[in-house]
Amino acid sequence: MKRLIKTFFVFILCSLIFNLKSSYVIAADFKTDYQVEYNLSQFKDSLSSNVKFKIKITNLRGDVYVNKFALSFPRSFAISNVQSVDDHGVVIPKITTDDANTKIEMEFSQPNIGRDSVNNFDLNFEQTNLFKANGNVWEVALPVIENRKEGSYKIVVTLPSDTDKKISIAKPKPDSIEGNQIIWDNPQTKTIYAVFGESQIYRAELSYHLKNSELFPILTEVAFPPDTLYQKIFIESISPVPTDVYQDSDGNYLGKYLLKPLETKTIVFKGLVQIFPGPREEMLPLVRNLVSGQKDYLLSQQKYWQIKSLDKIENIKTAEGVYNFTANTLKYNYKKVNSNNTRLGAEGVLLRPDQAVCLEFTDLFVAAAREKGVLAREIEGYGFSYDPQLQPLSLVSDVLHAWPEYYNKDSDLWVPVDPTWENTSGIDYYSSFDLNHIVFAIHGKKADYPLPAGMYKTGDSKDISIKATTEVPIDRKEVGIENFNLPLRISDDKIYQGKFFVKNNGNVYLFDVPVEIKAENLAIDKKKLTIASLAPYEEKEIDFNYKSSLENKISKKSQAKISIYIYDNKLLERFTEIIPFIYLVIVFGGGSIVVFVAVFIVGKLILKKRKL
C-alpha cells in the first residue's frame, strides 16, 4: 500500500501575537509531544539562551508518515549555531529567510513508518535576544504552540547556577519550581510571560512647561509621580521647589507654583522610581482608609465614563467579566497613535470599536466596572515597552500610556489591569501585572485631571526620560518642625492653643508618622497622634491645647517646657514661664490702682483748696 508523505511545519510566531501554529497536518494522523528547554547564561549585562526543541512524532496511521519537520521564527529572533539530529544521527537543517521569518527545515534521514511508530527530532540553537536584561530584572515572553490537539507540551527554563534572581511574575503560574529550574506543563495560554527579580528601578527625568497667558498672577499645580501600592519614588530634586505640596483625595502628588503675569516656567523632576510585583505593606492602611471616603465618586459617571448601550454589558457581573469584554470587544488602532487623537470615551468607542487606543480601552473598562458596582479608576503614566507593536503607547508624543485599576473588595487592594496590552500582545494582564507600568497621575474623581507628566507642553519638546537602571535607591528620611511659637509667659488660669507644622525634608514618602508632645508643668490635650502620610516637601499642621497643670494656684513664677518627638527623636524643645494670675493682677493691675488712688487724693486736695 502506498504511503502518504507529510511535511510538518510549525510556526513559532505570528505577526503581532506570540503563538505557535501547525499546518499541512491532519491532527488525527499524528500525535506530537514537545519539550522546549531554555538554558540561560549571563555575560556582563547580556543574556543568551541555549534553546533545545525535543520533538516526538507518533504515527497514528499505518499509511502515513512524516518526512519533514520545520520551525519558523520571526526574523528578529537572533538565532545562531543551529544543529539538528534525528533517531539515526545528524540532520543538516535547511535554513531560509525572507523579510519576515527565518525557517529551519529538517528532513528525516530514515523515517520510521507504520502505525504507532515514533520519529524524534532534537533541534539546538543559540538565541541572544529572547531573555532581556532590563535594569534590575530579567524579562521574557516565550511562545507557546497552539492547536496542539493531541500530545504533551512542556517548557523548561533553567537559570544560571550562580544567579540570585527569582521568578516574581509568571503568566501563567509555573507547575513546578525546583531550584533554578522552572517548568510549565501543557500551558494553555498563547504566551508565557515571566519576570525574574524582586523589583524594577527606573531613573526618571520629567519636565513640566508652565505658561501664564493672563495679565494677572495665577496659582497653578503639576502632578509628580506619586507613591502607590506598587510604586515607590526617591526624589533627587524638584527644581524649582514648589511653594506648596499636597496629596489630593485620589493620592496624587501635587506641587503648586505661582506664575507672574505672562510668565513661563519649566519645572524639572529628577529621581528614581521603584516598581514592585506585589502590594507594599506600609501603604495598605492608607489605601484602605482612603477608599472608604472615595466610594461615592468611584462609582459615579463622568464625561468619558458613561455607557448608554447597557444591553451590551447586561450579562457582565464581575471585574473579570468587564476586563474580558473590554479586551475582546475593542480593536487597537495603530493609525491613531501618531495622529491628532480625539478621546472617544466609553460610549463613543462602543459605537466605533475599531478606533480604540489605550484611553478608550481604559474608559470602557472604568465605565462598565462602575456600572456594575465595581470601584474603578484610570491611571495615566508610562509604559516601558520593548515592542510598540505588542505593547503600544498612545497618549502623546512622549509615549504615555493609560490603564485601569479596580478595587478588589475581597483582598481590599487596588488591582492594576491592562486590557490594551492583552488585546495587542496576547499576554494576560488581568491575573497578574508586570514591572513596566509607571504611574504619573491617578484619575478617580475626575476623568481628565490632574494632567500627567508629558502633557505640560508649550512646544514640541521631549519631556520624559525613563531608563531602567541597576542603581540602588537610598531612603533619606528627614522630618522637621516649623513655625512653633510658645509665649514667653502664660497665666496659670487660661487655656492656650498651640500650633506647629511637621515637614518632610527627605526624599521618600513617610507613612504613619508618630508625633508625641511631652510637657512639664503643662497639660496637653493631644499628647500622641499619627500622620497617615507625608510626601516629600509636604507639611501637615498640628493643633493642640495646653494649660498649666499645677494643682494649686501658685504664688510665684514656675518654668514649663514643651518637647516634640517624632519617631522617638526629640526635634524641638521650648520653655515658658507660668505666672500666677494674682501676681499678674498685682503687677500689671496694681499700678492702675495706685495711679487711681493718687489722682483721687490730688483731686481731694484741689477741692479743699477751692473751698478755702
- CA 122 to chain centroid: 42
Nearest partner of 202 among 225, 179, 185, 186, judged by Cα: 225
Report yes or no: 367 and 443 within 8 Å, Cβ to Cβ: no
Report yes or no: 331 and 423 within 8 Å, Cβ to Cβ: yes
pLDDT of residue 441: 98
Distance CA 67, CA 112 (A): 9
- CA distances to 49, 253, 273, 396 from 468, rounded to whole Å, are 22, 22, 9, 21
CA dihedral 264, 466, 434, 417 (to 10 degrees): 20
pLDDT of residue 70: 83
Q: Provide the pairing of β-strand 479-482 with 528-534.
A: unpaired
Concatenating the DSSP letter of every residue in 507-563 gives: SS-EEEEEEEEEEESEEES--EEEEEEE-TT-EEEEEEEEEE--SS--SS-EEEEEE
pLDDT of residue 608: 45
pLDDT of residue 397: 55
To which residue does cell 540532520 refer? 91
pLDDT of residue 338: 63
Distance CA 596, CA 294 (A): 65
Report yes or no: 493 and 522 within 8 Å, Cβ to Cβ: no
Nearest partner of 338 among 394, 400, 401, 420, judged by Cα: 394
Q: Return the C-alpha cell found at 408.
A: 478588589
Q: Return the C-alpha cell found at 490.
A: 502664660
Report yes or no: 508 and 536 within 8 Å, Cβ to Cβ: yes
pLDDT of residue 582: 63
CA dihedral 238, 240, 245, 250 (to 10 degrees): -60
Report yes or no: 206 and 464 within 8 Å, Cβ to Cβ: yes
Q: Which pTM value belongs to this model?
A: 0.85
pLDDT of residue 585: 53
To which residue does cell 549555531 refer? 81
pLDDT of residue 394: 57
Q: Return the C-alpha cell found at 64.
A: 502515513
Query: Tell me: the pLDDT tens digits for 417-450?
Result: 999 999 988 889 999 899 999 999 999 999 999 9
pLDDT of residue 4: 47
For the chain, which ranges sit under pLDDT 50? 1-25, 588-612
How does DSSP classify residue 228?
A: B
Q: Provide the pairing of β-strand 253-259 with 264-275.
A: unpaired
Amino acid at 459: G
